């Protein structure tokens, strides 16, 4: 469970464990590396796995810098741990970071898995998918007046009604209460990143094996968005989890792990 102070001056926290082929887990907005606990525990038996707290989340420090700088920091961590060829798995914002890793360091990426993620999160005239920018800015403003309650409300909204009625969700909520609240300034900055980044051409150019996993009822990355991504990368392996929202790996961890393992073994 080491720290590494990178060239940017940030003290990053990450977990690394296991032996074998390498997997990097990148979490999304408002959570931290522990959201992957069921995947980390399972895959560390057969692979060498690394899960990282993005700046401002978990135990990593916060400092404002461009997404490109963040990716160069990640490359430093991977180099330190001898992750020369790695399968990168990113959830939501983490998927955008994964695509940026591929853009800057394609030689390091062996396979890529995007979960509830897309190359562009904000709608525009030529892109009817993703999120309404006004709603994203409203959420950013709410962080100043209703923090951290708004983060917990937003997290809960990412699950379907059926998911919220399960014992599994009660377990998720129990562990959620033990997690550190991210830096408010970091969350606001990441919302700006989600609004501004457009990595559609990066996705179009992905030449490594790509798996796209989505909850059928995900309201962030919708089915229509995933089908749009299919047109960009028709060779991608695409799988939907029924009656799941934004975090299928939380609601159905066993099925999710089996699906990913089959992909990694191909």
Closest of 111, 118, 110, 77 to residue 94, by C-alpha: 118
How far, in Å, are 23, 94, 141, 201, 240 from residue 222 at the CA level? 26, 17, 24, 20, 11
Evaluate whether 206 touches 178 at the Cβ level (below 8 Å): no
Could you tell me the CATH number of the domain that includes residue 65? Answer: 3.40.50.1820
Is the whole-model pTM more than 0.85?
yes
Residue-level pLDDT at 1 = 61
What the block records as the tokens of 142 is 């709410």
Length of the chain: 266
Report the number of distinct structural domains present in the chain: 1
> How would you class 102 by CB atoms within 10 Å of its CB: exposed for 0-12, middle for 13-18, buried for 19 or more?
buried
Domain holding 11, by residue range, is 3-265
What the block records as the tokens of 260 is 């990913």
3-state SS class at 50: strand
Closest of 69, 68, 71, 26 to residue 49, by C-alpha: 26
Closest of 14, 166, 130, 151 to residue 79, by C-alpha: 14
pLDDT tens series, the chain, 266 aa: 699 999 999 999 999 999 999 999 999 999 999 999 999 999 999 999 999 999 999 999 999 999 999 999 999 999 999 999 999 999 999 999 999 999 999 999 999 999 999 999 999 999 999 999 999 999 999 999 889 899 989 999 999 999 999 999 988 887 777 777 899 999 999 999 999 999 999 999 999 999 999 999 999 999 999 999 999 999 999 999 999 999 999 999 999 999 999 999 98
The residues with which 114 forms a beta bridge, in sequence order, are: 90, 212
Residue-level pLDDT at 66 = 95
How far, in Å, are 11, 150, 216, 226 from residue 231 at the CA level? 39, 35, 18, 9
- Cα separation, 57 vs 38, in Å, equals 19
């Amino acid at each position: 469970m080491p720290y590494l102070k990178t060239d940017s001056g940030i003290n990053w926290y990450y977990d690394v464990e296991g032996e074998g082929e390498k997997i990097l887990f990148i979490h999304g907005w408002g959570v931290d590396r522990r959201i992957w606990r069921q995947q980390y525990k399972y895959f560390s038996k057969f692979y060498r796995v690394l899960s990282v707290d993005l700046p401002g989340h978990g135990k990593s420090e916060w400092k404002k810098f461009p997404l490109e700088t963040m990716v160069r920091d990640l490359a430093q961590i991977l180099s330190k741990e001898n992750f020369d060829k790695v399968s990168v798995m990113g959830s939501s914002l983490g998927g955008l970071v994964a695509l940026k890793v591929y853009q800057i360091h394609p030689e390091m990426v062996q396979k890529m898995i995007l979960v509830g993620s897309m190359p562009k999160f904000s709608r525009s005239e030529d892109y009817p998918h993703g999120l309404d920018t006004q709603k994203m800015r409203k959420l950013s403003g709410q962080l100043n007046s209703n923090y951290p309650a708004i983060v917990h409300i937003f997290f809960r909204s990412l699950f379907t009604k059926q998911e919220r009625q399960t014992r599994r969700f009660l377990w998720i909520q129990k562990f959620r209460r033990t997690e550190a609240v991210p830096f408010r300034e970091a969350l606001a900055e990441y919302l700006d990143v989600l609004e501004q980044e457009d990595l559609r051409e990066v996705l179009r150019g992905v030449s490594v094996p790509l798996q796209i996993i989505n909850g059928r009822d995900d309201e962030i990355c919708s089915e229509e968005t995933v089908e749009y991504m299919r047109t960009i990368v028709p060779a991608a392996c695409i799988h939907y989890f029924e009656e799941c929202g934004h975090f299928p790996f939380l609601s159905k961890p066993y099925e999710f792990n089996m699906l990913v393992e089959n992909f990694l073994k191909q």
